[in-house]
Amino acid sequence: MKILMAAPECVPLAKTGGLGDVVGALAPALSRLGNEVAVVLPAYQNILEKFPLEQTGIELEVELGGRRVAGTVLKTAGDGGAPVYLIRRDEYFRRPELYGTPRGDYPDNAERFAFFSKAVLQLAERTGPWEAIHCHDWQSALIPVLQKIGGNTAAARGAKIILTIHNLAHQGTFPFSDWELLDLDARYFTPKYLEFYGQVNVLKGGILFADALTTVSRKYAREILTPEYGCGLEGVLGGREKDLHGILNGVDYREWNPASDPLIKKQYSASDLRGKAECKSDIQQLYGLPLKASAPLLGIVSRLAAQKGLDIFLEIIEDLLRMDLQIVILGSGEEKYQKLVAKLPAGHVEKIGVKIGFDNALAHKIEAGADMFLMPSRFEPCGLNQIYSLKYGTAPVVRATGGLDDTIEDYDPLAGTGNGFKFVDYTGPAFLGAIKRALSVYVNKKAWKQVIANGMKSDFSWEKSAKEYLELYRRVAGAPVK
Ligand code: ADP
Ligand code: GLC
């Protein structure tokens, strides 16, 4: 099939979270399955500065709020035969961050991503025909809206549009003053369409107009139909339930595998874990913690946002610091959480180390060096770090929500089954209870080996998920399903 992937992130070019990992691995996985795949991204500053780019000669001009706004298209090789087109307009995308700073979003995000979406459709017309356009999150959710009700995009009409919701909490809601940027008929600014409590809701539009919807785990696909997880869109999603599919994210084991990871101190595998001990002392050293092999080391790598369960972590931190363990944290995100987390080591430097920032190499080192990985998320559409942890022999302690619940099986000491530790209620005591359970297994070397072995043998490689996407594209496009 001919598949165009329109996304706001794609590793190694641009990443703030798991969406970047997913697009960066799914595109080459689909091309390995014999499809013609290309990715389209905004030409962010980091990409312009660090990657080899070629001119395509394609110039675009889109209508944006009655104005004509121009852009150009660059291209870079991409991974595994899936080239990446880059929509360039420096006024919008040549900035230090993708969406905003720790203080908040860029104020012109509606304009930036309306431009991007319109440019993608125009690019699709020039480079197509494409059978499927696969969009990701609110930043590209206007594409199905514009294709269906935006007029003058005739050539891209042949393409079926699939929208993946990686995170329902980010909907792209903007004040009514941004409505004119979409150049849509006023009758679509009503509760039946894109209006949402007086605002423009871009994701809502995408949910209504995409040909098929997916989200990144089966459990989250069910959860978002409920008021607890639906973020106000549960009704709209309910109206499209039969077109909504849960497809679990995979892992790119070329990047996340302790046996070949060049970013960690010493490679290791399930059959020989000696390197893991070296990775542990490496991370203790990097964080200035005492080099104690026996102290359980708890790791966190996270966007610092309410979603990630930081409030219940902060609630139990005093209890944790009274125990014989060590904690390392790597995170960046909202200023409020950055400040709270940065303060934690004060008075406890022998127990806890914190680094605020985005550091891919350090994320790998923590996965390898820690004994346990904490993900107490309030909600988690899929979550990738717990799946990486499994491969690195680092037992995940997770809340049983979304993809965390689908990928982690609670350890059962009698049966010897399970690959981690789960808790259900979103409370400090429930989280603490799961950590204590993990610690009690940790001291039993044989049992701990079992937990780790169970995790390390699990296989979440992309091929299976890529095939599920392909089957969906075929079904939606009316092509024969193989
Ligand atoms: P989300 O997309 O909600 O942030 P995921 O678990 O799906 O959560 O993916 C997070 C990805 O981002 C992982 O690859 C993780 O290693 C990475 N990551 C998150 N925070 C940081 C950070 N501060 N530095 C480096 N990598 C990070
Ligand atoms: C989102 C979700 C995360 C998911 C990732 C990739 O950022 O928060 O759970 O793993 O997207 O799909």
pLDDT tens series, the chain, 482 aa: 999 999 999 999 999 999 999 999 999 999 999 999 999 999 999 999 999 999 999 999 999 999 999 999 999 998 888 999 999 999 999 999 999 988 899 999 999 999 999 999 999 999 989 999 999 999 999 999 999 999 765 557 789 999 999 999 999 999 999 999 999 999 999 999 999 999 999 999 999 999 999 999 999 999 999 999 999 999 999 999 999 999 999 999 999 999 999 999 999 999 999 999 999 999 999 999 999 999 999 999 999 999 999 999 999 999 999 999 999 999 999 999 999 999 999 999 999 999 999 999 999 999 999 999 999 999 999 999 999 999 999 999 999 999 999 999 999 999 999 999 999 999 999 999 999 999 999 999 999 999 999 999 999 999 999 999 999 999 999 877 65
* CB 263 near ligand 1, within 6 Å: no
* CB 217 near ligand 1, within 6 Å: no
Q: Is 67 exposed, middle or buried (0-12, 13-18, 19+ CB in 10 A)?
A: exposed
Give the number of the atom of ligand 1 that is nearest the alpha carbon of residue 15: 12
The CA distance from 364 to 118, in Å, is 37
Distance 306 CA to ligand 2 centre (A): 14
pLDDT, one tens digit per residue, over 71-88 is 999 999 988 889 999 999
Q: Which residue's CA lies nearest to atom 11 of ligand 2?
A: 166
* CB 9 near ligand 2, within 6 Å: no
CA atoms within 13 A on the CB side of 207: 33
The CA distance from 31 to 29, in Å, is 5
* CB 383 near ligand 1, within 6 Å: yes
pLDDT, one tens digit per residue, over 273-283 is 999 999 999 99
- Ligand 2, pocket-test mutation among 384, 389, 401, 408, most atoms within 8 A of CB: 384
**pLDDT value for 155:** 54
DSSP state of 34: T
* CB 377 near ligand 1, within 6 Å: no
Phi-psi region of 106 (alpha: psi -120 to 50; beta: other; left: phi over 0): beta
* CB 165 near ligand 2, within 6 Å: no
The pTM (predicted TM-score) of the whole model is: 0.96
Pairing of strands 54-64, 67-79: antiparallel
**pLDDT value for 152:** 63
The CA distance from 449 to 452, in Å, is 5
Give the number of the atom of ligand 1 that is nearest the alpha carbon of residue 367: 16
**pLDDT value for 188:** 97
For 170, the 3-state DSSP assignment is: coil
Q: Which residue's CA lies nearest to atom 14 of ligand 1?
A: 18
- Ligand 1, pocket-test mutation among 217, 263, 283, 301, most atoms within 8 A of CB: 301
What's the token pair of residue 37?
A: 């795949």
**pLDDT value for 153:** 57
**pLDDT value for 482:** 58
The Cα angle at residue 242 between residues 236 and 247, in degrees rounded to 5: 95
Give the number of the atom of ligand 1 that is nearest the alpha carbon of residue 216: 7
Amino acid at site 460: F
**pLDDT value for 80:** 84
The CA distance from 23 to 10, in Å, is 5
202 in Cβ contact with 173 (< 8 Å)? yes
